[in-house]
Amino acid sequence: MRPEILFPLFADVTTLPGLGPRLGKLVQSAIGPHVADLLWHLPSGIIDRSYAPKLAEVAPSRIATLTVRIDTHLPPPAPRRPYRVMASDASGELEIVFFHAKGDYLVKLLPVGETRLVSGRVEMFQGRPQMTHPDYIAKPEEAAEVTGIESVYPLTAGLNLKTLRKSVRAALDRVPALPEWGNAPYLAQQRWPAFQAALESVHAPKTEADLLPITPARQRLAYDELLANQLALSLIRAHQKKQSGRVIAGDGQLRRKVEAALPFSLTEGQRQALADIAADMASPKKMLRLLQGDVGSGKTVVALMAMLAAVESGGQAALLAPTEILARQHAAGIARLAAPAGVTVTLLTGREKGKNREAILAGLASGETGIVIGTHALLQEDVVFRDLMLAVVDEQHRFGVHQRVTIGAKGPKGKGGVDVLVMTATPIPRTLTLTAYGDLDVSRLTEKPAGRKPITTIAKPTEALEEVVSGVTRALNAGAKVYWVCPLVEESEVIDVAAAEERHAHLSQIFGARAGLVHGRLKGAEKDRVMEAFAKGSVDLLVSTTVIEVGVDVPEATVMVIEHAERFGLAQLHQLRGRIGRGDKPSTCILLYQKPLSETADSRLRILRETEDGFVIAEEDLKLRGAGEVLGTRQSGMPTFRVADLAVHGDLLQAARDDARLLLDRDPELQGPRGQALRILLYLFERDAAVRYLRSG
């Protein structure tokens, strides 16, 4: 339960002054539902109102606060003309202009003969300073309120700065005195302010430099947020490690048969990963391991070996894939590799229906099926295993932690948890691995299988399309297989498909039936047919939307054309390109771009030309985009941060992790004084799901 001391911060934003139901809704959707959300809504700029010149000296186009005497009101001479108020000081005159103004209101606001402060942007008009719609009008005794430096916040349509600023101020006033959760010597060494002082400070920048993420106050808050994240992950990890697993050793006979029949020998990285996995499975603890390996690094065979270990032990294994195409391809590939061992591999997706589906479910329930590969369909409640020992989750970033837990819960009751192996081809930078997968052990496949030829990547403007088509013709005539990827036009898949269909029609005129088309809206069977034709023969040129992004494996494909490459993210381009360069022939990737290129798009294409190393690309991506965007956020199961910016605060993350681990060693249930304070921190940053893993107290 949330500690009482935080109740004021988790009240609805509509309880703040000035935020009625209408504005409240805006704030809720743009910033967040709770008062605390406003605390993390940090200023993006400042307005300096301390500039207060005499009228004769005022510089144009600057925000100024002017002290003037009100001389005359000039109501509009005709409808739609402005209302003007003339004012002056000893040095000159000022014209204050209002459109659509109510005269009686202005007469009260700016009474003739009195002195007022007006603050706003000054422009010169016909040689005279003019201010249109002052931001502030104040009496001289209120000067302190308008002459300062103001914070500027990112806004949403319909919400104005003054209202938002007032709400943030009110939110700050509701921050209770909280116990210090930081490690005192570390805080002292960093010379950071206390939490509340840091909050006040980040919301009251005095200079542009105060807006940078490296100020002590911003670092302090970033650290707090990262500490909450790392503590939560450490708690989940400690909990999962306590859950017992099963001793799954196997006698190695199936694995030996499969390995002997492989057309290649395993890489050192694959061997090491398999050793890690075998040790995890053989231990009485539950396995929770992430297998990270760039596209084409050979994760599938590692997954198969792990699954065979479960089958050798008399159990079953399941592999969960994010798309239909990928599930089918895995099933076909794995069945082929597993054949020498005589293990039955079954496929279950949304397309298996009726009697067929019943038969598959029966095979799983009886234990006759050793290995099942499928999509989300595997997660359905009526999918029951006789003895599920291992769950493999492929391309984990496509799933949330939730799916990982659901499949993991399909083991037999009372025998210990299902071992879980998650695999990802997305080369996540180390920093992000720590925040998203801090609860997993990690194995990495860093080398590519031997004999791979490098991919030459070139970028060409769209104008060179004809030239590219002739290049493709030459490649096809020489026996190559070619991917032609059409761009992401819009959020809407319908429009993407239209673009792909159009390109397919164009290329069909040249290549006839050798050009195939695949996209997400094709019926399953049709998709299979085209993929099959591309893998096996009659189709040599595959026009597609980005459905081929994940995992598709046709080693003979050596050319890829990506249209409008400037619209894709770096990681996505890398994933796409990973479809080629898989065989023993050199490959070429042509990035077609539309001029003019933005600076970031230009950097992206340059990085791709320079390197094929997924980890280098991931680090660059992080720099170009910021962590929040690297993998998309919520739907990918990646955590989002409010204050911390991982591109800048990566070193704080490491420190937070060490701090969290050390603390949990000493106080695993968060009972001590610092532990109690840290519980508050977890709730404050809404990482409280982890708190339920603590005993009450």
Interface residues with Mg ion (CB under 5 A) are 245, 281, 283
Which part of the chain contacts ligand ADP (CB under 6 A), choosing from 5-13, 151-159, 216-224, 548-556? 548-556
**Shortest distance, CB of residue 289 to Mg ion, whole angstroms?**
10
**Rounded to 5 degrees, what are φ and ψ at 441?**
-85, 150
Asked whether 456 and 587 are in contact (CB, 8 A), the reply is: yes
**Shortest distance, CB of residue 288 to Mg ion, whole angstroms?**
10
| 267: partner contacted, choices ligand ADP, Mg ion, none (Cβ within 5-8 A by kind) | ligand ADP
* Nearer CB in complex with ligand ADP: 301/347: 301
**Shortest distance, CB of residue 436 to Mg ion, whole angstroms?**
23
443 lines the binding site for ligand ADP (CB under 6 A): no
In the block, tokens 């359905």 appear at 380
Distance CA 458, CA 561 (A): 10
**Count of beta carbons in the 10 Å neighbourhood of residue 679:** 21
Distance CA 347, CA 237 (A): 32
Q: Which two tokens stand for residue 361?
A: 């479910």
Q: In what order do the strands lie in the sheet with 541-544?
A: 455-461, 587-593, 557-562, 481-485, 541-544, 515-518
Give the distance from CA 680 to its chain's centroid: 26
| 245: partner contacted, choices Mg ion, ligand ADP, none (Cβ within 5-8 A by kind) | Mg ion
300 lines the binding site for ligand ADP (CB under 6 A): yes
CA nearest neighbour of 520 among 549, 560, 541: 549
CA nearest neighbour of 560 among 538, 542, 535, 533: 542
State which of positions 576-635 bind ligand ADP (CB under 6 A): 582
**Shortest distance, CB of residue 302 to ligand ADP, whole angstroms?**
8
455 lines the binding site for ligand ADP (CB under 6 A): no
* Nearer CB in complex with ligand ADP: 188/261: 261
Which part of the chain contacts ligand ADP (CB under 6 A), choosing from 39-47, 496-504, 521-529, 547-555? 547-555
Which part of the chain contacts ligand ADP (CB under 6 A), choosing from 48-56, 298-306, 362-370, 686-694? 298-306
| 177: partner contacted, choices ligand ADP, Mg ion, none (Cβ within 5-8 A by kind) | none
Q: State the maximum Cα–Cα separation within the chain, in Å, rounded to a whole number.
A: 100
Distance CA 483, CA 556 (A): 11
* Nearer CB in complex with ligand ADP: 293/471: 293
**Shortest distance, CB of residue 623 to ligand ADP, whole angstroms?**
25
In the block, tokens 């006759």 appear at 368
**Count of beta carbons in the 10 Å neighbourhood of residue 89:** 16
- Taking CB under 6 A as the criterion, the residue among 301, 455, 580, 589 binding ligand ADP is 301
Which part of the chain contacts ligand ADP (CB under 6 A), choosing from 343-351, 408-416, 519-527, 551-559? 551-559
DSSP of 22-43: HHHHHHHHHT-SBHHHHHT---
297 lines the binding site for ligand ADP (CB under 6 A): yes
DSSP of 280-333: HHHSSBPPEEEEEE-TTS-HHHHHHHHHHHHHHTT-EEEEE-SSHHHHHHHHHH
Give the distance from CA 688 to its chain's centroid: 21
State which of positions 242-271 bind ligand ADP (CB under 6 A): 264, 266-267, 270
* Nearer CB in complex with ligand ADP: 421/670: 421
User: Exposure string (b/e) for 266-293, b if CB count within 10 Å is 16 or more?
Assistant: bbebbebbbebbbebbbbebbbbbbbbb
State which of positions 119-148 bind ligand ADP (CB under 6 A): none
Strand partners for 482:
541, 559
| 299: partner contacted, choices ligand ADP, Mg ion, none (Cβ within 5-8 A by kind) | ligand ADP
Residues that contact ligand ADP, how many (by CB under 6 A): 19
Q: Is 628 exposed, middle or buried (0-12, 13-18, 19+ CB in 10 A)?
A: middle
553 lines the binding site for ligand ADP (CB under 6 A): yes
293 lines the binding site for ligand ADP (CB under 6 A): yes
* Nearer CB in complex with ligand ADP: 230/575: 575
* Nearer CB in complex with Mg ion: 59/249: 249
**Shortest distance, CB of residue 270 to ligand ADP, whole angstroms?**
6
* Nearer CB in complex with ligand ADP: 167/267: 267
State which of positions 270-289 bind ligand ADP (CB under 6 A): 270
Q: Could you list the residues that contact ligand ADP (CB under 6 A)?
A: 264, 266-267, 270, 293, 295-301, 425, 449-450, 551, 553, 555, 582
